[in-house]
Homo-oligomer: A and B are copies of this chain.
Amino acid sequence: MENPYKELKPSTRILMGPGPSNVDPRVLKAMATPLVGHLDPDFLEIMNETMDMLKLLFQTRNLLTIPISGTGSSGMEAAFCNVVEKGDRVLICVNGLFGQRMCDVAERCGAEVITANANWGYIITPEKVKEAIREKPKIVAIVHAETSTGILQPLEEIKQIAKENGALFLVDTVTSLAGAPVKVDDWDIDICYSGTQKCLSCPPGLAPITFSDIAMNVIRNRKSKVQSWYLDMTMIERYWGSERFYHHTAPVSMIYAFHEALRIIHEEGLENRFRRHKMNGLALKSGLESMGLRLIAQDDYRAPMLTTVGIPEGIDDVKVRKRLLNNYYIELGGSLGEFKGKSWRVGLMGHSSTKQNVLFLLSALDNILAEEGYKFERGAGVDAASCFYESFEK
């Protein structure tokens, strides 16, 4: 039969938005491996290796450290719905879109949500948390790297406050994991989730998650069933654990890809990887500032893997991004919520975090902004970034 739908041939892209990032060809190759069954002895071994490598990445010894069969947002939902019961008070730190989303997710789980707030682009201060914690929440939840603003949130003091008040500490590391240190055990994090499509450079579709023993005890002692059957950790742990009890069919090919992405991360080494993300992030920021552009996130707390940059007066957000995409094959992110139309989001995540990408983006922006009539010193961005690399590499 003649097929009106043609084989897919999407354009080649340099993915420098807020995710997905580019994927190493090794990961694509792994994903194309022919399937085995989800209870096959070969697959069980792959699952074990995947859990081991994920523990190293989360820097934890938590037994229940696995990829959930859904995207990063399903990780957020799994984090809340397993520990929240109707009427539980939950303190959520809100300084961007993903903190807001946490409130929505937690409320749907029956939580009574209270918040500690900061303006978009600023960190949450420990003082705000201290104030809110008087209401004795069961959980304190916070986003490590706020993808909507480019802030990397310090966690130490807020963890301290949570722990002193007997609360579970829940952290979203969707954008930070594998691009900056995430030390689940050292930082006493009870529930930590991420996504595969950012600094892990694996296609979107899985949500790595880990639960401390304390969190697992809370889950095991629930009065009511977890409202989501699909994300119920008391059942999922029986499949990933030694029992291998069937729950749902694991997304075999995605786990192949994830296994290879983790192998690549550990070959590079965590410290090297964090250093690379830091270096490229700083080079980009130095280049953008030298072009006279304004960085949006609070100084000293800028995420290495995601940079928010103000769109200059008179420059058309969508037009510039379209030209970047069509002429340079570069995907840049627009902004969301309060920042919509006001800033771009530049991701340098995982496989996309390279010196070449930094210099290419700065050159492309140099050309496009000049043509759009933006006044600045031509070439200053690339020069500044190049200088930065020279001094950093010494």
Q: Which A residues are closer than 8 A to B by beta carbons?
A: 1, 3, 5, 7-8, 10-13, 15, 17, 19-20, 22-23, 28-38, 40-43, 46, 49, 52-53, 69-74, 76-77, 101, 104-105, 107-109, 195, 197, 203-205, 225-230, 246-254, 256-257, 259-260, 262-263, 266-269, 325, 331, 336
A205–B20 touching, CB < 8 Å: no
Inter-chain contacts of A197 with B (CB < 8 A): 249
B228–A228 touching, CB < 8 Å: yes
If over half of A's interface residues share one DSSP class (helix, strand or loop), that class is named, otherwise mixed; here it is loop
Complex partner residue of A108 from B5, B49, B226, B253, CB under 8 angstroms: B226
* A351 → chain B closest CB, angstroms: 10
* A338 → chain B closest CB, angstroms: 15
A36–B19 touching, CB < 8 Å: no
- Quick one: closest B residue to A253, CB to CB? B203
A242 to B374, CA, bound (A): 33
- Taking A1-B268, A3-B267, A46-B10 as contacts, is the C-beta distance between A71 and B248 under 8 angstroms? yes
A52 to B42, CA, bound (A): 37
Inter-chain contacts of A17 with B (CB < 8 A): 37
- Taking A23-B35, A228-B108 as contacts, is the C-beta distance between A71 and B69 under 8 angstroms? yes
A12 to B34, CA, bound (A): 7
What are 21 of the A-B contact pairs (CB < 8 Å)? A1-B266, A5-B52, A5-B259, A7-B263, A10-B42, A11-B36, A11-B42, A15-B37, A23-B35, A28-B33, A29-B32, A31-B32, A40-B325, A73-B249, A77-B229, A105-B229, A107-B225, A108-B227, A197-B249, A246-B336, A251-B254
